[in-house]
Amino acid sequence: MTETYTALARKWRPKAFTELVGQDHVRQALVNALTSGRVHHAFLFTGTRGVGKTTIARILAKCLNCEAGVSATPCGQCASCREIDAGRFVDLIEVDAASRTKVDDTREILDNVQFAPTRGRYKVYLIDEVHMLSTHSFNALLKTLEEPPPHVKFLLATTDPQKLPVTVLSRCLQFNLKRIPVAQIAAHLREVLEREGIEFEPAGVALVAQAADGSMRDALSLLDQLLAFGGGRAGEAEARAMLGTVARDHVVQLAERLAAGDAPELLRFARSLEQWAPDYAQLLDELASLLTRVALRQVVSDYEGDELYAGELIDRLAGALGAEDVQLYYQTAIIGRRDLPLAPDPRTGFEMTLLRMVAFRPYAEGATAPQAGAVGQPGAARAAERRAGGAPAEAGAAAAAAPSGEWAALLAQLDLQGAARQLANHCVLLGREGARVRLALDPRSRSLRTASLEEKLAQALSRHFGEPVRLEFASAPQSGETPAQAQQRAAHEQADAARQAFESDPGVQGFRDRFGAEVIPETVRPVK
């Protein structure tokens, strides 16, 4: 006989407060009430689907009726505990209010309230989706809530508490269950997969956790679906195919082209994505999610990335993109996502959102405004900003910068990490005069200039030179290339060289001539 499969959402449903994931504020309150013996006669659990409302209610019913006594830690072994877990405990009356809205249904349920429990210590009424009851049904319930027998407890659950009468709300202890954070869902899914002995990729699990939208039940159901789709494996490629999400590499390449500021190349790549039939709204969501991680890296020195985007990638983008540009691109992405249904078609709306990003990128005062084919070039920056103390920026010619390689070589020798290194990477060395080191900061990265980061950079330079160093920042845009710009330029040169070498390869040319093959440039990468 074939063994019956139990869905993960049922198999891994918590049976004790210690097994709950999230909802610590609710768990602690209930544990304290049970420990002190002050258990209210009516509880209302609210929150979106799949966050644990009925699960917590069933655990509470078990705590109240465990044969070992009322406590926050039911034994789980006695007849009452086992019957509650199996859903056949005679004194736990579960009611789906969505299907029993009539007043006669409610009266039929409540007629037996006055009678003592058959097996347990308390007769527990668990009414799910209680907001679906009719007005007359609420009135019938209210009479019982006003003067409940001592042996009765009411556990109400709803996704829409606004529809409950105030008279009912006022007689219940209310607990609002929150959406479970993605990180907690992902950690629990990994634990489930490890204990089930199932192969998985962390990035695939992270995608499922993100798609669950805060619901642990939905996450486990999606995981079941992924295992069926992937032949018993939870991989990233399978998760993206099942969920319809775009390949991570496409999102990264969009961000890299935004960093380059080359509008024609950005638009060409965006149009090449059409062959994958992407969900453009989801593509903008993914881009905004990546930009969020880049912004975090620019201000949180110990941010190391996650399962979807590695720390090395985030570091590279954080160095290539100015902090101000990241904020602009993020805001444009989410606004474009909102307005996508108003566009003539999704692809047009997506392309216009990308063009807005580069068109609104700030450029230097006095510089030639971006032209067609050169929108938002990398060297463009906003006019000179005020000094940190608020004094107006000085006009006049920029001081000559030292060779960019000199500053980059010096940085390689410094004991400098995180955001402080990012600050240095976006500077040009103007020169050193004794204890004074003069720097020019790329105006697009001026948000990196904080007192604490300046102090860390000054300390690193002081250790290197063996004497105290004082930093001075120029107040006007400078000539010269920052290490971050040099790294970005070198990466593009390597990529261009790799594409040229690949396209000139005799074998590739043979495929083109014989089969009409076409090279997709963005898929060609230099060998590291």
User: Quick check: 226 pLDDT over 60?
Assistant: yes
Grouping H, G, I as helix, E, B as strand and the rest as coil, residue 196 is helix
Among 266-275, 346-355, 460-469, top mean pLDDT goes to 346-355
Please list the residues that pair with 93 across neighbouring strands.
Answer: 125
Question: Rounded to an integer, what distance in angstroms lies between the CA atom of residue 407 and that of residue 422?
Answer: 13
Please list the residues that pair with 429 across neighbouring strands.
Answer: 439
Q: Angle CA(256)–CA(354)–CA(299) in degrees, nearest 5?
A: 55
User: Quick check: 84 pLDDT over 60?
Assistant: yes
Q: Is the dihedral of CA 371, 376, 378, 382 positive or negative?
A: positive
Beta strand residue intervals within 32-147, DSSP E: 42-46, 92-96, 123-128
Q: What is the pLDDT of residue 396?
A: 34
- Cα dist from 528 to 192, 414, 446, 487, 496, whole Å: 37, 25, 32, 15, 14
Give the N- to C-terminal CA distance of the chain in Å, as an integer: 55
Domain 182-243 has CATH 1.10.8.60: yes
The candidate with the shortest Cα–Cα distance to 453, out of 477, 429, 475, 421, is 421
Question: Rounded to an integer, what distance in angstroms lies between the CA atom of residue 470 and that of residue 451?
Answer: 13
Least confident range from 218-232, 397-411, 505-519: namely: 397-411
Q: Are 356 and 267 a contacting pair, CB within 8 Å? A: no
Segment 247-258 mean pLDDT: 85
Q: Angle CA(363)–CA(333)–CA(216) in degrees, nearest 5?
A: 145
Q: Are 93 and 125 a contacting pair, CB within 8 Å? A: yes
Grouping H, G, I as helix, E, B as strand and the rest as coil, residue 384 is coil
Q: What is the pLDDT of residue 57?
A: 92
CATH architecture of 8-176: 3-Layer(aba) Sandwich (3.40)
Least confident range from 131-135, 228-232, 347-351, 507-511: namely: 507-511
**At a CB cut-off of 8 Å and minimum separation 6, what does 122 contact?**
61, 64, 65, 91, 151, 152, 153
Q: What is the pLDDT of residues 372-400, one digit of tens each?
A: 333 333 333 333 633 333 333 333 333 44
Who has greater pLDDT, 329 or 400? 329
Grouping H, G, I as helix, E, B as strand and the rest as coil, residue 340 is helix
Amino acid (1-letter code) at residue 260: A
Amino acid (1-letter code) at residue 452: S
Q: What is the pLDDT of residue 82?
A: 92
- Domain pair 8-176 / 404-481, same fold: no
Q: Which residue has the tokens 């056949």?
A: 88
Q: What is the DSSP letter of 443?
A: G
CA atoms within 13 A on the CB side of 479: 8
| pTM for the structure as a whole | 0.56
Q: Which two tokens stand for residue 407?
A: 């500053």
Q: What is the pLDDT of residue 366?
A: 37
CA atoms within 13 A on the CB side of 132: 15
Amino acid (1-letter code) at residue 166: V
- Cα dist from 527 to 315, 336, 495, 498, 507, whole Å: 20, 36, 9, 8, 18
Q: Are 479 and 417 a contacting pair, CB within 8 Å? A: no
Q: What is the pLDDT of residue 403?
A: 63
CATH number assigned to the domain covering 404-481: 3.30.300.150
> Interhelix angle for 418-425 vs 451-465, to 10°?
80
Segment 326-345 mean pLDDT: 92
> Interhelix angle for 248-260 vs 263-272, to 10°?
160
Question: Rounded to an integer, what distance in angstroms lies between the CA atom of residue 445 and that of residue 283?
Answer: 26
**Phi, psi angles (nearest 5°) of residue 422:** -60, -40
Question: Which listed CATH number (3.90.1150.10, 3.40.50.620, 1.10.510.10, 1.20.272.10) goes with 248-359?
Answer: 1.20.272.10
Q: Is the dihedral of CA 150, 152, 157, 161 positive or negative?
A: negative
Q: What is the pLDDT of residues 155-194, one digit of tens each?
A: 999 988 888 989 889 889 999 999 898 889 999 999 999 9
Domain range annotation of the chain: 8-176, 182-243, 248-359, 404-481, 484-523
Percent of the chain topping pLDDT 70? 85
Q: Which two tokens stand for residue 430?
A: 């103007």
Segment 65-91 mean pLDDT: 91
Determine how many CB atoms are found less than 10 A away from the CB of residue 407: 23
